[in-house]
Amino acid sequence: MPLTRFEKNLEDSTALLEKNGLAKGREKYIVRVAAPEGEKGPRFYLEGCGDRACLRMNSNSYLGLSFHPEVIAASEAAAAAYGVGPGAVRFISGTFQPHVQLEKKLAAFHGREDCMITSSAYTAIMGAIVTLATTDTIIISDELNHNCIINATKLARVKEKKVYRHLDMEDLERQITDSIGQCRTLLVVTDGVFSMRGISAPVDKITEIINGFNSHFARDIVLLVDDSHGVGALGATGRGTEEFFGARADVLVGTLGKAFGVNGGYIVSSAPVIRYLREKNPLYIFTNPITPPEAAAALKAVEIADSDDGRARIKHLREMTDRFTGGLIKLGFETIVSEHPVVPLLMRDTEKVNLMVRNLQENGILATGINFPIVPKGDELIRFQICADHTLHDIDYVLSVLASFPK
Ligand SMILES: Cc1ncc(COP(=O)(O)O)c(C=O)c1O
């Protein structure tokens, strides 16, 4: 039976997004990547753009590890040894040596007892929240948390869901106080780094507040931090938001698909938490893990991140970030200063954002326009992301192009 009315409704919705300039549209795909050459970092060629080389200022691959020859070699060797897919979920026959080695390495990297890898950070969060929260739990979540936290919270069958104002510690404290006597476990959830603006959650202050109230809850206050954008990019050795603030979450979620340059997600925590999740987390039990080549590549990437090579990359990343942020300020643009390689250029207007993104692309620069509803109205911005494979020449080129545009 033709779904005429159903499809018409969908078409009307997407047409409205397009009319309001909010549609993402069909993706432009990358057809070729050129290796770094001379003073230039890697360049990307997009379908339909002929031989215009693009500088990618919108990748999460903060440490530039996606093209690292040792990471690629690790992936190829694992594909030859184990095949390209796991062929089963973990508990049936889908656990390969690289999965186990990677979990050990990530647990050690974060100073935790154990680790569970998942097919993405999105599923790591969904699985952790849905599995750890019970009908005796109240979840308290920052209002600007990532979509995966919002959806996980919607899905979780809990006593109550509360939202505190973005980074507002007084509001968090108020909501914790209001929860006393209402539940046995309190689950406080926050992004480590808020990816639209590169701002971090003050994990030190959050843990201090939690410690002050923990005794009021029969089964503790549990802090869950999603540090997908922080790990690899923040802290002297890339341990992320925890290292930056000198504090620890009870359950930490990270991704293998951003600074580590591969794909997949993970949860690190104490042995009892991970043991329980292996028994109960549906997004671990009933869905395939990342592939053995991905796990082997990620293992190599974490090893590199945790070496002199990795620390040199972090240092360069920070220098390039400072140079770009400082350059934007000198040019009179509005930005937010932070150590994180997400550098927002606040335009505060959807049309201006879309025009600037098009202009940048015509000049061979890929950056992302972020409009409502991803950010609140009035906070529209262009998000630039600095990576360790950007060169001084690359950063100065982007600044020179921006200098030619009206503010
Ligand atoms: C805070 C946060 N969590 C999770 C994710 C999803 O990561 P992954 O691609 O590994 O699912 C993102 C990605 O944008 C993110 O910013």
- How much is the pLDDT for 372? 87
Determine whether the shortest distance from the Cβ of 191 to ligand 1 is under 6 A. yes
Quick one: pLDDT band at residue 21, thresholds 50, 70, 90? confident
Determine whether the shortest distance from the Cβ of 394 to ligand 1 is under 6 A. no
* Dihedral of alpha carbons 103, 278, 129, 150, sign: positive
Determine whether the shortest distance from the Cβ of 229 to ligand 1 is under 6 A. yes
Q: Which pair of structure tokens corresponds to residue 47?
A: 């379908």
Cα–ligand 1 centroid distance for 121 (angstroms): 5
Determine whether the shortest distance from the Cβ of 242 to ligand 1 is under 6 A. no
Checking if the pLDDT of 407 tops 80, the result is: no
Say how far apart CA 345 and CA 333 lie, in whole Å. 7
Determine whether the shortest distance from the Cβ of 142 to ligand 1 is under 6 A. no
Q: How many CA atoms lie less than 13 Å away from 349 in the CB half-sphere?
A: 7
Q: Which amino acid, residue 292?
A: P
Determine whether the shortest distance from the Cβ of 226 to ligand 1 is under 6 A. yes
Question: Catalytic residue numbers?
Answer: 195, 229, 258
> For the chain, what is the mean pLDDT?
96
- Contact (Cβ atoms closer than 8 angstroms) between residue 255 and residue 121: yes
Mean pLDDT of all residues in 143-160: 97
> Which residue from 259, 246, 188 is spatially nearest to 222, judged by alpha carbons?
188
Quick one: pLDDT band at residue 250, thresholds 50, 70, 90? very high
Determine whether the shortest distance from the Cβ of 344 to ligand 1 is under 6 A. no
- How much is the pLDDT for 243? 98
Checking if the pLDDT of 22 tops 90, the result is: no
Cα–ligand 1 centroid distance for 128 (angstroms): 14
Mean pLDDT of all residues in 40-47: 97
- How much is the pLDDT for 42? 97
Pick the atom of ligand 1 nearest to 145's CA: 1
- How much is the pLDDT for 25? 87
Quick one: pLDDT band at residue 286, thresholds 50, 70, 90? very high
Q: Which one of 24, 147, 148 would you pick to mutate in the ligand 1 pocket, going by the greatest count of ligand atoms within 8 A of its CB?
A: 148
Mean pLDDT of all residues in 164-171: 98
Q: Which pair of structure tokens corresponds to residue 39?
A: 């003073």
Q: Which pair of structure tokens corresponds to residue 394?
A: 């690359």
Q: How many CA atoms lie less than 13 Å away from 391 in the CB half-sphere?
A: 13
pLDDT > 90: percent of the chain: 92
Ligand 1, atom 16, residue with closest C-alpha = 195
Cα–ligand 1 centroid distance for 255 (angstroms): 7
- How much is the pLDDT for 405? 80
Q: Which one of 117, 146, 194 would you pick to mutate in the ligand 1 pocket, going by the greatest count of ligand atoms within 8 A of its CB?
A: 146
Domains (ranges, CATH) in the chain?
A: 36-57+308-403 (3.90.1150.10), 69-305 (3.40.640.10)
Say how far apart CA 247 and CA 249 lie, in whole Å. 7
Determine whether the shortest distance from the Cβ of 257 to ligand 1 is under 6 A. yes
- How much is the pLDDT for 252? 99
Quick one: pLDDT band at residue 146, thresholds 50, 70, 90? very high
Ligand 1, atom 13, residue with closest C-alpha = 228
Which H helix or E strand runs over 393? helix 392-403
Cα–ligand 1 centroid distance for 101 (angstroms): 23
Cα–ligand 1 centroid distance for 50 (angstroms): 31
pLDDT > 70: percent of the chain: 100
The residues pairing with 138 across neighbouring beta strands, listed in sequence order, are: 160, 186
Contacts (Cβ under 8 Å, ≥6 apart) of 248:
203, 207, 242
Determine whether the shortest distance from the Cβ of 198 to ligand 1 is under 6 A. no
Number of Cβ within a 10 Å radius of residue 219: 12
Checking if the pLDDT of 109 tops 90, the result is: yes
Cα–ligand 1 centroid distance for 238 (angstroms): 17
Mean pLDDT of all residues in 66-75: 98
- Contact (Cβ atoms closer than 8 angstroms) between residue 233 and residue 340: yes
- How much is the pLDDT for 347? 95
